[in-house]
Amino acid sequence: MMNSEPQSDLPTPLQPLSAQITRVRRQYQQLLDRATPHILYRWLGAFAVVALFELRIVFAQGWYIICYAHAIYILNLLLAFLQPKFDPSLQDDLMADEIEEGGPDGSRSPLPSARDDEFRPFVRRLPEWQFWLSTTRATIISLFMTFSAVFDVPVYWPILVMYFCVLFVLTMRRQLQHMIKYRYVPFDWGRKTRYGQAPK
The pLDDT of 154-169, averaged and rounded, is: 94
Residue 129's contacts (CB-CB under 8 Å, 6 or more residues apart) are 36
Domain ranges of the chain: 19-103+122-182
For residue 113, the model assigns a pLDDT of 46
pLDDT of residue 193: 45
Cross-strand partners of 124: 84
Confidence at residue 99, expressed as pLDDT on a 0 to 100 scale: 58
DSSP letter at 117 equals G
Distance CA 49, CA 161 (A): 20
pLDDT in tens, 21-67: 999 999 999 999 999 899 999 999 999 999 999 999 999 999 999 99
What are 139-148's pLDDT values in tens digits? 999 999 999 9
**Range with the poorest average pLDDT among 7-11, 118-122, 150-154, 181-185:** 7-11
Distance CA 113, CA 97 (A): 17
Q: How far apart are CA 47 and CA 53, in angstroms?
A: 10
Band of pLDDT at residue 97, cut at 50, 70 and 90: low
